[in-house]
Amino acid sequence: MSDNKQKVVEIDRSAYEFKDIETEKDFYRMQEGLDEETVLKVSAEKNDPEWMRDFRLKCLKLYNEMEMPKWGPSIEGLDMDKITSYVRHKSDMKNNWEDVPEDIKNTFERLGIPQAERESLAGVGAQYDSELVYHNVKDEVAAQGVIYTDLESAMRTEYADMIKSHFMTLIPPTDHKFAALHGAVWSGGSFVYVPKGVKVDIPLQSYFRLNAAGAGQFEHTLIIVDEGADLHFIEGCSAPKYNVANLHAGAVELFVAKNARLRYSTIENWSKNMYNLNTKRALIEENGIMEWVSGSFGSHTGYLYPMTILKGDHSKMEFTGITFAGKGQNLDTGAKVVHQGVGTTSVINSKSISKDGGIGTYRSSVVIQSSAKKAKASVSCDSLMVDSISRADTIPGMDIRTDDADVGHEAKIGRISDDAIFYLMSRGISEEEAKAMIVSGFANPVSKELPLEYAVEMNNLIKLEMSGH
């Protein structure tokens, strides 16, 4: 057996898809379905202020009035009457890893979270089902005035007004049905505030684990990077595989002030019974910089289109993403950008891989408003089909409302070259390994943008997908 094949065996998907049994003794699980009683129970669990409880009820009303999205792949297999909106361990959140309940600790130990924290991270938040179970920030980061905590705790601090004035303003509940659902039952997630001029040298990280079968996860991440500040935030996600539908409908709201920079990196590795209907959006002020790095693996069906609003003059956005759709997967991903300020710049580089009958769709929207004179936008989307039974589609949208703009779009859809495979096989490499090498090379522009440990994880996930594990 070759070394590469040996590596594939060692990187068993069980590292992500193991199941921890949740007992009534240790876990509280809300009833399935969604009604006013459910929302009020979630609100009581969170000890919401009055304004948040009222907001949840308004969102529920909107949810009931709105139609299901029609733009993406079918989600008819998702039955909200069979989804429980809230599951938590009966222990409270810990700041010391040793104090985390043993069953949850073992889960995250196997996923490498404490190790990652020890090695390279400034702060870590770990969410299990509906609640954060662990949170810790390095002293030197806290000393800089950086706030990184769970959103619920932050609402009861001096930052309460800041949260109230920002919460679901970028992603209003009227946006789509699952934004309204999120507003009604959101739970968990992170609040980050980086003060003016503070540069956080090492990344903050949040990790989400949805362990319960037939459950939804609705965490809310709110990040505010103040004027001249700089932050790299990393998000990781995984779930075990069940034979029932699970739902992830989180929300991420990012505010980047004048002359500030935010890099937001995500590796989503959901199991293939997951409906991933996540919404992410960023607002960028004058001379601000937003960088997205996104890797989408797993999930049965995915809708994921991080959006950037370039409000300030000379603000910039760069999106680098990859999607891997295997057997039974229909992943609809891409990016959106709205140019409002003068001299704004956006660059979108997207890669899509489909294999074993998987469907990968790239969907983008570039809007350049009449106010965005001298705007520049570049979109490049490449799709690679590993075999003849898979599918790749590209659906770019351009809405240009000024003559004074520079816009470019390039799309390529193709299959792995037989000549390339033949060449590698002539050098003693097996066909399976040759295909894996070509796919890894195709994905390289994304992996090189990630911190080392996450680049390794992404390349390992590609090897797993290519090996059929």
C-beta separation of 65 from 233 below 8 A: no
Domain that holds residue 217: 3-467
Judge whether residue 2 has pLDDT over 60: no
Tell me the percentage of the chain whose pLDDT exceeds 70: 77
Per-residue confidence at 232, pLDDT binned at 50, 70, 90?
very high
**Stretch 361-375: mean pLDDT:** 96
Judge whether residue 12 has pLDDT over 80: no
Separation between Cα atoms, residue 276 and residue 273, nearest integer Å:
10
Per-residue confidence at 122, pLDDT binned at 50, 70, 90?
very low
Residue 322: name the closest of 143, 454, 190, 175 by CA.
Answer: 454
Cα–Cα distances in Å, from 266 out to 2, 51, 172, 304, 395? 31, 31, 22, 12, 23
Residue 242: name the closest of 271, 276, 202 by CA.
Answer: 271
Reading the block at residue 140, the tokens are 């030197």
Judge whether residue 130 has pLDDT over 60: no
Tell me the percentage of the chain whose pLDDT exceeds 90: 42
pLDDT in tens, 427-440: 888 888 888 888 88
Residue 96 is predicted with a pLDDT of 56
- Name the more confident of 91 and 449: 449
- Name the more confident of 127 and 232: 232
Per-residue confidence at 7, pLDDT binned at 50, 70, 90?
very low
Residue 334 is predicted with a pLDDT of 93
Residue 70 is predicted with a pLDDT of 83
Helix, strand or coil, per DSSP, at residue 432 = helix
C-beta separation of 265 from 233 below 8 A: yes
Supply the pTM of this predicted model.
0.85
pLDDT in tens, 396-426: 899 999 999 999 988 888 888 778 888 888 8
Per-residue confidence at 9, pLDDT binned at 50, 70, 90?
very low
Reading the block at residue 272, the tokens are 């293939």
Residue 444 is predicted with a pLDDT of 81
CB proximity list for 310: less than 8 A, separation 6 or greater: 284, 316, 317, 337, 338, 339, 340, 341, 344, 345, 346, 372, 375
Residue 11 is predicted with a pLDDT of 36
Residue 453 is predicted with a pLDDT of 61
Judge whether residue 333 has pLDDT over 90: yes
Residue 451 is predicted with a pLDDT of 67
Cα–Cα distances in Å, from 349 out to 39, 155, 195, 383? 39, 37, 31, 11
- Name the more confident of 239 and 265: 265
Token pair 């019974």 in the structure block, residue:
273
How many Cβ atoms are within 10 Å of 215's Cβ, its own excluded?
Answer: 25
C-beta separation of 329 from 355 below 8 A: no
Count of structural domains within the chain? 1
Residue 467 is predicted with a pLDDT of 65
Judge whether residue 14 has pLDDT over 80: no
